Amino acid sequence: MMQISKKDQMLYVALTSIFFVIALFPLITGGYLVYLLAQIFAFVGLAYSWNIISGYSGYISFGHHGFYGLAAFSACSLIAYQNMEPFIAILIGGLIAFTTSIPIGFPCLELRGPYFSIVTLAIAEALKSLIFNIIPRKQMEGIALPPAYTLPRVYWGTLVMAYIAFLTAYLIKNSHIGLALFAIRENEAAAQNLGVNTTRYKMFAFTISAFYTGIIGGLLGWNTSFLTPLHAFSSVTQINIMVMVLFGGIGTMVGPFVGSVIFTIISEYLWLQFPALYLSILGFLIVSIVRFLPGGLHEIRKLGI
């Protein structure tokens, strides 16, 4: 059983206090600020979810947008066509992503390096193709969600998921599971020789990552009020997740949070001020960070700058 240190207990108290203060924002203010914070919380949750498998174990997934899209489309279909309570539908969407990740994870996690990354990308595209072929034709044009949607509920949902994803990542990092994942990242063959059940630990990280990604996918899908399959399975989602983690520092605790917050704010600003040049400027910033700070903003701290 993991012992929680006094320092960790203080961290939990501080995080919980901040959580409850931030949760009051929709009751005090509204409009764009609440929308922007909901986006930041969602990306923080996605970044920590992806970092659990890709940052801790070193298995870089290019296919998490498949779990995101599958859960988002499933949840929104249940809300629109079955009149299901949104949060229950979103939970079911997350469970669908979790269940799907199990048969995918076992064969894929036997591959390493770029082979794993390429296969996960191919599987995400296969999931998109499957959805395109099994859904009714009218859903191909998109799912219109009921007008009962309210931004505060999405805000609270994304805030809770960001909080849970962060705590999960923190607890894993400071447990025997984290030690096993780091050992796999450094030298998987050596870890196996020392008796580490690498398959079990990789599957745990992969399925938890897929579940959280699916839940957040459902929340953001609901937030759009109108969801198309192309939007749900957009590879831009995967690129954004990876860039945010790399921007802050992959495999670290602070990196995904800092990267998500700064990247989201910069993206929003560029989109509002320079809509025509938005992608070009963003691409230049990304290339600059990867070229000069391959360890992300976390590298600045290591350099003592």
Write out pLDDT tens, residues 6-61. 766 676 677 778 888 888 888 887 778 888 899 999 999 999 999 999 999 999 99
Beta partners for 226? Answer: 144
Q: Give me the residue label for tokens 């990196």.
A: 255
Output 246 or 120, whichever has higher pLDDT: 120
- Residue 37, both tokens: 């914070």
Confidence of residue 300 (pLDDT cuts 50, 70, 90): low
* Statement: residue 172 has pLDDT above 90: yes
Q: How far is the C-alpha of 93 from the C-alpha of 214, rounded, in Å? A: 6
DSSP reduced 3-state for 227? strand
Q: Are the C-beta atoms of residues 248 and 254 closer than 8 Å to each other?
A: yes
Q: How far is the C-alpha of 225 from the C-alpha of 147, rounded, in Å? A: 8
The mean pLDDT of 276-298, rounded to a whole number, is 73
Average confidence score pLDDT of the chain: 87
Task: Please compute Rg for the chain using Cα positions.
Answer: 19
Q: How far is the C-alpha of 297 from the C-alpha of 247, rounded, in Å? A: 6
Tell me the CA end-to-end span of the chain in Å, nearest whole number. 39
Selection from 234, 288, 240 nearest residue 267 by Cα? 240
Q: How far is the C-alpha of 22 from the C-alpha of 152, rounded, in Å? A: 12
Report strand pairing: 143-144 vs 226-227: antiparallel
Provide the 10 A C-beta neighbour count for residue 281. Answer: 16
Q: How far is the C-alpha of 295 from the C-alpha of 185, rounded, in Å? A: 16
Query: Residue type for 291, please?
Result: R
Q: Give me the residue label for tokens 């495999």.
A: 251
The mean pLDDT of 150-168, rounded to a whole number, is 91
Write out pLDDT tens, residues 64-119. 999 999 999 999 999 988 989 999 999 999 999 999 999 999 999 999 889 999 99
Selection from 293, 181, 182 nearest residue 246 by Cα? 293
Confidence of residue 151 (pLDDT cuts 50, 70, 90): confident
